[in-house]
Structure 1
Amino acid sequence: MTLQSGLIRKAMAAAIVFAAFGLSAPADSFAAAPQARTQAPGFYRLMLGSFEITALNDGTADFPMDQLLLNAKPGEVEAAYKNAFLRLPAETSVNGFLINTSTKLILVDTGAGTLYGPTLGHMLDNLRAAGYRPEEVDTILITHLHGDHVGGLSLNGKMVFPNATLYVSQRDVSYWLNESNEAGAPESQQGNFKIARQAMGLYLAANRMKPFTGDMQLFPGIKAVEAPGHSPGHTMYQIESDGQKLLLWGDLIHAAPVQFADPDVAIKWDSDPKQAVATREQVLADAAKNGYWIAGAHLPFPSFGHVRADGKGYVFVPISYTQNRPVH
């Protein structure tokens, strides 16, 4: 028997066996698998010197930026999103950040919790997926008292972070927790007063809130920096370790495709749009000049990156993903 005839006989025998038992031939074993339709957990780590910074995604929300943005030129918003291959309303990230200094575990903002529907409120799950428990968080730094930043503080009438002390600007506390300010506020912002009172109530009752004033060194390597305009006490947090620097700038920018290129564009949620524009221009210029890391609550997740000057505006340069080594 020749080698060729032997191979033919073996192939025929295999075909008979598969047919007898109703099996498919091996060539058919690569049929399409079911689609998973789920995403990986929303966390990403950056090593900043000896500090571990973990971005935590709370989810995304669709914002009608063509209706919310102020001072934009006719057609500017639509063109910017089209050029970025993004649709309107704009799917916009809500992010928080966990800082592990080796001696403290600090959360910057808590996400929306259950306030704004099922596309948000995932920060707690992503915190756990990143290897941490809410009971381990000992400090929470709040950029400002809007719902998508403090909604995750409580759940079902209990503190989500029972061992944490809150730090927040006294200017925001004085404004948002004062009911007399509510009646005179723009209609688009009135809901934030009730949200702030509810979110902060349990921590106030437990004496777990420490307001601060102005620029202040809160902990070694962590400084609060005033950035008013979006909210009266809107605050950024400057993180420094081993000569490296990261600025967590909160809501300095909501619409990245528009506001980097044109920082003069404000948003209806700004308490003082003129001041918000001035703050944004100052921070962008400094970040571009000095080249440190930045991250924001509403930049595309994980939001770490740098700012580069580009003519009269700026460009956001996002971090390159890596899982092979710590990012420095």
Structure 2
Amino acid sequence: MKNATRNVLPVTANVGKEGSGELVSSRYAVRVGEIDVVLISDGILPLPTSTMSTNVSDGDRNEWFDSRFLQRDMFDWALNIALVKSGQRLILIDSGVGDGFEYFTRAGRSVMRLETAGIDLAAITDIVITHMHMDHVGGLNVDGVKARLRPDVRIHVAAAEVEFWKNPDFSKTVMPAAVPPALRKAAATFVELYGRQIVQFDQTVEVATGVSARVTGGHTPGHCVVDVVSNGEKLTFVGDAIFEVGFDNPKWQNGFEHEPEVAADVRIALLNEAAESGALLAAAHVAFPSIGHVAKNGESFRFVPVQWDY
């Protein structure tokens, strides 16, 4: 089955100067109470569809991809980061994949897109890393980025995550062979570059007024999500806890999950939480801009993307 494609007219959120020359919007802004949140696309990661469902049959997997008019062999994973403005603090959530990965030529654009939006890297006061996979820390590893960040930037990472990457366990993952070495290298480079700026936390940390991170585990032992809460409104950036297939099939395990059974429980808990509260949800690997609501659908869930405000 061929991919379904469509042409899209340019859409641009009003967050700064324009002029990137890109034909499709790569950022989208929402306001959560008094807090501004901008989702930014770092690009696309083409990966085998088999990694999206390691505990189900090829037939079940193919049925889902067919229903979405997607190819059965390779899947374009969206890769999103977020920028949050709370008071005087400007918080970056994850940093994208960066460069140096020849098989990810369609990603690594977060720094360029921040600049296009008029965001000076030196204005960022805090960074939250949901977990230390290369597509979340790689943007910080790019040559020249550290020098452009403020020396006192605080990089919040769960203590369990830092500890895990000292000797990571890949025994329960199902990844392309080239990926684990790249993950190890990216994590080690990140710690080497930013060890002095890393602020470790145990279970939860308040990064700024209305912005906090909490450890969920599952995808990695120290994986965390970020809650943005203001004036009775809420958005949760769930990192890699929920993938595109996870709404319809929350028990499907992902090949990049280091604790796949725990990850499934975490995913279901977060989906139930969003469905019950009506809060907004955003994710690293849900189609850009990834912002929407979650509704119960029998034993599974339904993602309801926000209607874009032009």
Aligned twin of 2:236: 247
For residues 129-181 of structure 1, give each alpha carbon's deviation from its aligned partner in whole angstroms, at most 9, with x where no partner exists: 222111111110000000000000032265165212210000000111x1x44
Aligned twin of 2:122: 135
| AA partner of residue 166 (structure 1) | I
CA contact (8 A) 2:98 2:109 kept: yes
State the 1:214 CA deviation.
0.7
Distance 1:158 1:293 in 2: 31
Alignment of structure 1 residues 255-270 onto 2, 5 Å: 256=244, 258-270=245-257
Q: Does 1:229 align with 2:213?
A: no
Aligned twin of 1:200: 191
Residue aligned with 2:212, SS:
strand
For residues 10-42 of structure 1, give each alpha carbon's deviation from its aligned partner in whole angstroms, at most 9, with x where no partner exists: xxxxxxxxxxxxxxxxxxxxxxxxxxx952341
| AA partner of residue 322 (structure 1) | D
Distance 2:81 2:210 in 1: 18
Distance 2:254 2:233 in 1: 31
For residues 55-112 of structure 1, give each alpha carbon's deviation from its aligned partner in whole angstroms, at most 9, with x where no partner exists: 1100001121235522224412211121112224111110000001131110000000
Aligned twin of 2:7: none
Residue aligned with 1:294, SS:
strand
- Larger Rg over CA atoms: 1
| AA partner of residue 60 (structure 2) | E
Greater mean deviation of Cα atoms: 80-89 or 299-308: 80-89
Listed as ranges, the gaps of 5+ residues in structure 2 are: 1-20
CA contact (8 A) 1:151 1:195 kept: yes
1:63 aligned residue (47, 51, 55): 47
- Structure 2-normalised TM-score? 0.85
Distance 1:273 1:54 in 2: 30
Distance 1:230 1:264 in 2: 13
Distance 2:51 2:287 in 1: 20
Distance 2:171 2:41 in 1: 33
Change in Cα spacing, 1:253 to 1:185, as seen in structure 2 (3 Å) is closer
Higher helix share: 1
State the 1:182 CA deviation.
6.0
Aligned twin of 1:99: 84
2:67 aligned residue (74, 83, 90): 83
Distance 1:128 1:174 in 2: 33
For residues 246-269 of structure 1, give each alpha carbon's deviation from its aligned partner in whole angstroms, at most 9, with x where no partner exists: 000000122x1x321111101111
- Structure 1-normalised TM-score? 0.81
2:161 aligned residue (167, 172, 182): 172
Question: How large is the Cα RMSD of the aligned pairs?
Answer: 2.0
Change in Cα spacing, 1:229 to 1:189, as seen in structure 2 (3 Å) is farther
CA contact (8 A) 1:43 1:127 kept: no
Distance 2:144 2:58 in 1: 46
Q: Does 1:53 align with 2:37?
A: yes
For residues 227-248 of structure 1, give each alpha carbon's deviation from its aligned partner in whole angstroms, at most 9, with x where no partner exists: 1110010000111011110000
CA contact (8 A) 1:92 1:298 kept: yes
For residues 252-301 of structure 1, give each alpha carbon's deviation from its aligned partner in whole angstroms, at most 9, with x where no partner exists: 122x1x32111110111111111001111111111111110000000000
User: Matched residues, percent identical?
Assistant: 28
CA contact (8 A) 2:51 2:256 kept: no
Distance 2:171 2:148 in 1: 33
Residue aligned with 1:302, SS:
coil
2:201 aligned residue (185, 192, 212): 212
Change in Cα spacing, 1:175 to 1:54, as seen in structure 2 (3 Å) is same
How many matched pairs?
281
Distance 2:145 2:209 in 1: 30
Residue aligned with 1:151, SS:
helix
Change in Cα spacing, 1:308 to 1:119, as seen in structure 2 (3 Å) is same
Residue aligned with 1:286, SS:
helix
Over 3 Å off, 4+ runs? 180-191
Listed as ranges, the gaps of 5+ residues in structure 1 are: 1-36, 324-328
Aligned twin of 2:139: 152
